[in-house]
Structure 1
Amino acid sequence: MTTTPILKANNIVAGYDNKIINNGISLVVPSGKISVIIGANACGKSTLLKTLARLIKPISGEILLDDKKINKIPSKQLARTLGLLPQSPVVPEGITVADLVGRGRFPYQTFLKGWGKKDYEAVQEALEIMGITDLANRSVDELSGGQRQRVWIAMALAQQTDILLLDEPTTFLDITYQVEILDLLTDLNRKRGTTIVMVLHDINLSARYSDYIFALHKGNLIAEGSPDEVISEELIQKVFSLECAVIKDPVSGSPFIVPKGRHHVMG
């Protein structure tokens, strides 16, 4: 595999309807690693991810992919390098699992070139990676939340991008499914070298599964680094207004948050 492209944000100011949400964020996404963006609700995590994916045009600053301005890269070319799984995507009515996963091959289609062997192989591989080959002919409408999330991730995998951005891929899932999804993404990262950037709500899962953490507070990037470098009682107090103790996770060795008391608000 060729060297994974580098995704950077330079002094990004971004938001909606003239309301600034991200305020001057600069970062470099670690190539070939799993990064997680953490922060309280409405702190700008999803806005940052959407800006990195070119879904939102920044008010100022720029996003660079291998030092090329992302807004200058043709859409299909970008979609072959960078994939995004948004929060709560809408399922087209009556579509089968195989057809939805096949939509990940759109960046490779042209007027002259229909589906080829590579496309079928990419879909088959994505179904296998996510363990849903036996669901290929089922309607997505009939599936459980955990199965449906696997299908969406399989669609993103079929795109075969070097960089994969996921906005809360485990939200609304039982803890069993959350761990399964995160284990599968970790396998993908380790085997393919895919650069993964996720927004996650759960701090302990973030610390366990990430190589690198970006911590946001009120639209600003206030800390970044490995979980051991970033997760501290002071940071959790500042970001989430939560008093806690930080101990070592007995299974993974990563930092583990233990809240103190019942009267603190998570932000």
Structure 2
Amino acid sequence: MKQHKLEANHINVGYDKKEVIDDLSVTLPDGKISVIIGANACGKSTLLKTYARLLQPKKGEILLDGKNIHLENTKELAKVIGLLPQSPIAPEGIRVSDLVARGRFPHQGFMSSLTEKDYEAIQEALEMMKIADLADRSIDELSGGQRQRVWIAMALAQQTDILFLDEPTTYLDITYQIEILDLLKELNETKKTTIIMVLHDINLSARYADHIIALKDGDLVAEGNPCNIVNEDLIKTVFNLNCSVISDPISHTPLIIPIGKYPRKEEGCQI
């Protein structure tokens, strides 16, 4: 994978007259996994979409290797940046392999058919997501976790250096969440793909992220390695949640223990 510098430079982003992000500047670390966290409606997905050129800043700019991405050729940009949005919709009855093949569009010429290189990229993506055995199945027949792996495989077939994923684990049970995040971690480690995600689960974010970007009301509160920035004060500021932060005994990353109104049982569990 090529090295890239992707940065938000004093961006303001909003919808109609509502401003969501105000004067934000963040450079994404190359070859790492970054996770954007924050409470609902704080601007997480807005920031991700702006980085991926789905939204244009009202002020400031998104720079890829020093160039404004809104001035770049769309098809050429799609060879560098891939995006898996929230709740993508597949054509009814489409086969898994045909959906994954759509990721090769940026690499194809006008009216050209799939080449040997395209088929190799498709097969590699299927194997990386461990769904090669599902290639001839209709996506309508698959479970939620299997479908999510198919969508990620389509993004992988695009063979981009940078991959954005907007809440890739939403609506999945914990087994599928861990499975998807493990596969993305493997992709990052083997291909050095720069991955940027929006996640709701702060503990999974801390476990899988190399770099966390914490937002509140469209403002950057903190960014950095989870071990350096995730603490009780950050969680209180970002989520308005009282908590205790301990070391995860498995990953040795921050583990958030929420403190609610009724945190104690009269008799504890013997485990």
Q: TM-score, normalised by structure 2?
A: 0.95
RMSD, matched Cα: 1.1
For 1:216 and 1:10, locate their aligned partners in 2 and report how far apart those are by CA, in whole Å: 16
Please report how far the alpha carbon of residue 263 of structure 1 lies from its aligned counterpart in structure 2 after TM superposition: 6.8
For 1:66 and 1:263, locate their aligned partners in 2 and report how far apart those are by CA, in whole Å: 51
The runs of 5 or more residues in structure 2 that have no matched partner are 264-271
- Higher Cα Rg, which structure: 2
For 1:206 and 1:143, locate their aligned partners in 2 and report how far apart those are by CA, in whole Å: 27
For residues 191-216 of structure 1, what are the alpha-carbon distances to aligned partners after superposition, in whole Å with 9 as ceiling and x for unaligned? Answer: 00000000000000000000000000
Distance 1:263 1:74, change over 3 A: farther
For residues 93-123 of structure 1, what are the alpha-carbon distances to aligned partners after superposition, in whole Å with 9 as ceiling and x for unaligned? Answer: 1111000000000001112643111100000
Aligned to 1:120: 119
Moved more, 15-24 or 240-249: 15-24
For 1:210 and 1:111, locate their aligned partners in 2 and report how far apart those are by CA, in whole Å: 39
Aligned to 2:249: 250
The runs of 5 or more residues in structure 1 that have no matched partner are none
Question: Contact conserved, 1:126 with 1:154, CA < 8 A, in 2?
Answer: yes
For 2:51 and 2:217, locate their aligned partners in 1 and report how far apart those are by CA, in whole Å: 18
For 1:87 and 1:263, locate their aligned partners in 2 and report how far apart those are by CA, in whole Å: 34
Aligned to 1:28: 27
For residues 211-255 of structure 1, what are the alpha-carbon distances to aligned partners after superposition, in whole Å with 9 as ceiling and x for unaligned? Answer: 000000000011000001110100101111110000000000000
For residues 173-198 of structure 1, what are the alpha-carbon distances to aligned partners after superposition, in whole Å with 9 as ceiling and x for unaligned? Answer: 00000000000000000000000000
For 1:67 and 1:93, locate their aligned partners in 2 and report how far apart those are by CA, in whole Å: 41
For 1:10 and 1:141, locate their aligned partners in 2 and report how far apart those are by CA, in whole Å: 42
Question: Contact conserved, 1:32 with 1:196, CA < 8 A, in 2?
Answer: yes
**Aligned counterparts, 1:43-192, within 5 A:** 43-111=42-110, 113-192=112-191
Query: Which SS does the other structure have where 2:113 is aligned?
Result: coil
Aligned to 2:16: 17
Aligned residues: 263
Whichever residue aligns with residue 257 of structure 1, its letter is: I
Taking only the aligned residue pairs, the percentage that are identical comes to 65
Q: TM-score, normalised by structure 1?
A: 0.97
Query: Which SS does the other structure have where 1:256 is aligned?
Result: strand
